[in-house]
Structure 1
Amino acid sequence: MEFLTEYGLFLAKSVTLVIAILVVVGSMVALGQRQKSQPKGHIDVVKLNERFDEQRDIMREAIIDPDELKKQLKQEKKQQKKALKDNANKEAEAKPRTFLIDFHGDIKASAVDSLREEISSLLTMATEKDEVVVRLESSGGMVHSYGLGSSQLDRIKKKGIPLTVCVDKVAASGGYMMACVADKILAAPFAIMGSIGVVAQLPNFHRLLKKNDIDFELLTAGEHKRTLTMFGQNTDKGREKFLEDLEDTHDLFKQFVKEHRPQLDIDAVANGDVWFGSRALDQKLVDELATSDEYLMDKSEQTDIYEISYVLKKSLPERFGMAAESAVDRFVLNWLERLQSSRFFS
């Protein structure tokens, strides 16, 4: 009888454990299905005029005498009432709008995924009377990725909506490929512009492998399936084909820039060199010298400015992974910038 009692308790514990495991697994599966069904992110819209007004009010309260401030606020209310009365007597025209997008490009132009969502969203509302401003920062990267980024910006142009690109720090190589799509390019005086060229490099370990009696075999179907390799013995014919592909890509790059900025002397600027903002203006790589802050503050007096961003939902492992990847990208880009030009402050 004691045996049956102990067996019954053991069986009850086992069943309870199995049920608990099934509940946990079921909950995880349900959570996974729910996450799959939910959108990966959402569009966030912020009206910057209100932010600018708030900054102004904070400064006024701190600096202006309270009595004088009351007079100013009273005068502003009178002006607002007069404006409302004037609009009541005539058909009010819609105030122009400026849509602001930020693009921070890495080597893979990962931000293009968010850019396409932001552009798709604003195109549902923007008209030819509005303007799209892109604050762009990129030292370039993969050709096909930045080509897609340029095509996304071109969607705005095809709708007849004015497009302005502001560069505060750098728009080089693929970054300039995107910037040149705009109707107008603004750059800070020391922003880095240009680098209209193509580069490719890879190490070759063939001699090291040969020294250690290690064979490496590369099998391909198609004469040009692989021109250069990291581990095999590269040939002059392979190098010639690789250079031919680089030159062809460079020609496409030059043609693309020339189509969007016909005022450029493309042969003079498409040599891979870079220029600071003031020098880039002389080369007609940019149209005006101004920071994005200066431009947007001026625009806020005549238009409503809406900052649009696509906010991705990321899991904790993804956040750690992206942070590590971003750190590596920043290190590589900084190293390339220093290698490319010795004109920096140390």
Structure 2
Amino acid sequence: MKQFFKFVLATIVGVVISGIIIGVIGAGLIIGLIASAGSDKTVDVNPNSILYMSLKNQITERSPNNPLAGLDFLGLNEDKSIGLNDILADIKKAKTDDNIKGIYLDESYMTAGQATTEEIRNALIDFKKSGKFIIAYAEVYTQGFYYLASVADKVYINPKGIFEFHGFSSQTTFLKGALDKLGIEAQIIKVGTFKSAVEPLFLTKMSDANKLQVTSYLGSLYDHFLTGISKSRGVNKDSLFSYADNMRIQFPEDAYKLKLVDGLKYKDEILDDLKKRTGTDLKDDLKSVDLRDYAKNKSDDSDDKADDSSSKNRIAIVYASGDINGGDGDDNSIGSETISKALRKARLDDKVKAVVLRVNSPGGSSLASDVIWREVKLIHEKKPIIVSMGDYAASGGYYISCAADSIIAQPNTITGSIGIFAVLPNMQKLFNDKLGVTFDGVKTGKYADLGDISRPLSPEERLILQNSVNHGYDEFTKAVAEGRGKTQAYINSIGQGRVWTGEQALKIGLVDRLGNINDAIASAAKKAKIKTYSIVNYPEQKSFFNKVGSGLSAEVQTRMVKNELGENYRVYQQIKGITQMMRTPQARLPYDLVIK
């Protein structure tokens, strides 16, 4: 027995010592990886190089602060996302970089939103003014990538590839049937004829009002899509519509015959073409620099300087991206505490002469939206604040925008959706009939258990909640009317939860002009009456070590779920989002918009 305890004790000590050693080695590896990644701040760009642009990974509003991005370590090997800020800066920098002779677009499955694609497309159009070339190649052209690639000097496709050109469609997943089977009733309280976020919970198909609005804005998006391609490729817009409507393009040779691509080539032929264009011997390797590596070389232009604390004149860019909720957020979500703190910091900093609020959000908590709106309003009273809208700035995303001096959107930004809703589940049948669970208790007042999900709402309780939602909508429309210089009655007439494209929103006065984030920065500088300035970015991104201590494991878990579910991840997100919708009144887009 004594020998047994000695053996057990020795084993425990061995395990502890081994754990310490492994921990030290692991920490050393992490530090080494970070040091090696962080030390690689610049890359050498050889003469006669091309800028290689592959956009298959997620495009965020700004590049994540992750020195291990792209390394096959701790599950981080797939975090290769790049920010729109770096993409636009890279294209602008390459325009005047004598070592860059052209751009090679190489991507099949770009997943960027339409407004994000628009910003990159416009940057490429501007790049062409330099006289440098753009070559696009893909084995599979999705409609989104083709819209981007159509501005290239030459557009090529693999001879056996796929060319998608069939028009836009939008689909919503309805959950009422599943909820009925589970014995769950979604009790809906909302304001807005077009506020359709809750329809999947109590309908099995789109309402007439929802179908009307989707038909309207989808048609607007499609018209802009066709107009852009028509202008770039020199093909009549009506002909393009006919090609898609009649499924005229089924094979790569069809796209070639109809002048939507310039040739059918394999990858080796593209590489040879690029070598000839850059004066490279066909036997030598093509000189190129990847977009993500090129981003490490910071430009010396004053407009591109970030976080320059020495400058007396600054323009602050506050990034608000993702769903709006209370508390802290991150790079992919808007926390009212984080964003309001960033806005407050910009307001109180005398060196910050103007603010650009970059909004890319479908909305969320109406309360959290109001908290952020208050800070925007306070900045407006002290210094210029310009809103730049991304793919979405709808509902709560519009709420936080409406108090700005002016609003700039892309033609294909999704915005509006001015409305409020709340959802309270009644799970009585699930508990009683499905699970055999019952509840009993006491209360000190008639409404002490208001919000209890184990029973249905009484008529009086429903009225209380409806009054609350009505009040929220009244405050919403009042804020928009004040910010936009319109009557509340007019805002109500274009509100009601209706969704608009940026192009449509311009016509009805919800935005002031169409343009990109650089237009917003220029507008902010003009209003502040400054010609030279530096850019400071808020909120401050968390360091890698802070992520390790807080949300890194969650990021890895999310990435694993995305990889496993693929395109079905959006359905998972929609179902998961129901729990959030059931917490507080929501000002958010009617649904997760997916256009195919």
* TM-score category, normalised to shorter length: 0.5 to 0.7
| Residue segments in structure 1 that go unaligned for 5+ positions in a row | 1-5, 25-41, 66-93
Say if 2:407 and 2:512, in contact at 8 Å, map to a contact too: yes
Q: How many residues align?
A: 286
Q: 2:499 pairs with 268, 271, 274, which one?
A: 274
CA distance in 2, matches of 1:133, 1:144: 22
Matched, 1:261 2:511: no
Comparing both chains, which one has the higher relative contact order based on Cα–Cα distances under 8 Å and sequence gaps of 6 or more? 1
Matched, 1:240 2:456: no
Give the C-alpha shift of residue 219 in structure 1: 4.4
Say if 1:345 and 1:195 are closer, same or farther in 2 by CA, change over 3 A.
same
CA distance in 1, matches of 2:557, 2:533: 37
Say if 1:95 and 1:303, in contact at 8 Å, map to a contact too: no
SS class of match (1:286): coil
Matched, 1:308 2:537: yes
Give the C-alpha shift of residue 229 in structure 1: 3.0
CA distance in 1, matches of 2:558, 2:417: 24
Q: 2:430 pairs with 189, 208, 213, which one?
A: 208
Give the C-alpha shift of residue 246 in structure 1: 1.4
The AA in structure 2 aligned to 1:108 is N
CA distance in 2, matches of 1:51, 1:305: 18
CA RMSD, Structure 1 to Structure 2 (Å): 4.4
Give the C-alpha shift of residue 273 in structure 1: 0.7
CA distance in 1, matches of 2:89, 2:498: 41
The AA in structure 1 aligned to 2:380 is K
Say if 1:205 and 1:230, in contact at 8 Å, map to a contact too: yes
SS class of match (1:134): strand
CA distance in 1, matches of 2:317, 2:392: 18
Q: Which residue number corresponds to residue 183 of structure 1?
A: 405
Could you list the per-position Cα deviations for residues 270-317 of structure 1 after superposition, in whole angstroms to 9, with x for gaps in the alignment? Answer: 311111111111111111111224444787994424131312222256
Q: Which residue number corresponds to residue 105 of structure 1?
A: 322
Q: Which residue number corresponds to residue 343 of structure 2?
A: 119
User: What TM-score, normalized to structure 2?
Assistant: 0.41
Q: 2:386 pairs with 159, 164, 169, which one?
A: 164
Give the C-alpha shift of residue 233 in structure 1: 3.6
CA distance in 2, matches of 1:341, 1:221: 39
Give the C-alpha shift of residue 260 in structure 1: 1.9
SS class of match (2:415): strand
SS class of match (1:169): strand
SS class of match (1:189): coil
Could you list the per-position Cα deviations for residues 169-216 of structure 1 after superposition, in whole angstroms to 9, with x for gaps in the alignment? Answer: 111111111000111001110111111111112332212333354312
CA distance in 1, matches of 2:317, 2:355: 6
CA distance in 2, matches of 1:297, 1:257: 24
Say if 1:180 and 1:260, in contact at 8 Å, map to a contact too: yes
Say if 1:206 and 1:314 are closer, same or farther in 2 by CA, change over 3 A.
same
CA distance in 2, matches of 1:232, 1:334: 22
Matched, 1:320 2:562: no
The AA in structure 1 aligned to 2:315 is T
Say if 1:257 and 1:222 are closer, same or farther in 2 by CA, change over 3 A.
farther
The AA in structure 2 aligned to 1:332 is Q
Say if 1:226 and 1:98 are closer, same or farther in 2 by CA, change over 3 A.
same
Say if 1:247 and 1:122 are closer, same or farther in 2 by CA, change over 3 A.
closer
CA distance in 2, matches of 1:237, 1:324: 43
Could you list the per-position Cα deviations for residues 196-244 of structure 1 after superposition, in whole angstroms to 9, with x for gaps in the alignment? Answer: 1111123322123333543123644443344343212432222222212
Say if 1:139 and 1:333, in contact at 8 Å, map to a contact too: no
Q: 1:58 pairs with 71, 83, 97, which one?
A: 97
The AA in structure 2 aligned to 1:62 is K
CA distance in 1, matches of 2:589, 2:354: 37
CA distance in 2, matches of 1:202, 1:305: 48
CA distance in 2, matches of 1:308, 1:155: 19
CA distance in 2, matches of 1:333, 1:187: 29
CA distance in 2, matches of 1:211, 1:263: 52
More helix as a share of residues = 1
SS class of match (2:101): helix
CA distance in 1, matches of 2:505, 2:576: 21
CA distance in 2, matches of 1:284, 1:55: 36
The AA in structure 2 aligned to 1:180 is C
CA distance in 2, matches of 1:278, 1:334: 32
Q: Which residue number corresponds to residue 292 of structure 1?
A: 517
Could you list the per-position Cα deviations for residues 62-104 of structure 1 after superposition, in whole angstroms to 9, with x for gaps in the alignment? Answer: 3689xxxxxxxxxxxxxxxxxxxxxxxxxxxx98542212111
Say if 2:324 and 2:369, in contact at 8 Å, map to a contact too: no
Say if 1:155 and 1:208 are closer, same or farther in 2 by CA, change over 3 A.
same
Q: Structure 1 vs Structure 2: percent identity of aligned residues?
A: 22
The AA in structure 1 aligned to 2:573 is F
Q: Which residue number corresponds to residue 331 of structure 1?
A: 573
Say if 2:355 and 2:524, in contact at 8 Å, map to a contact too: no
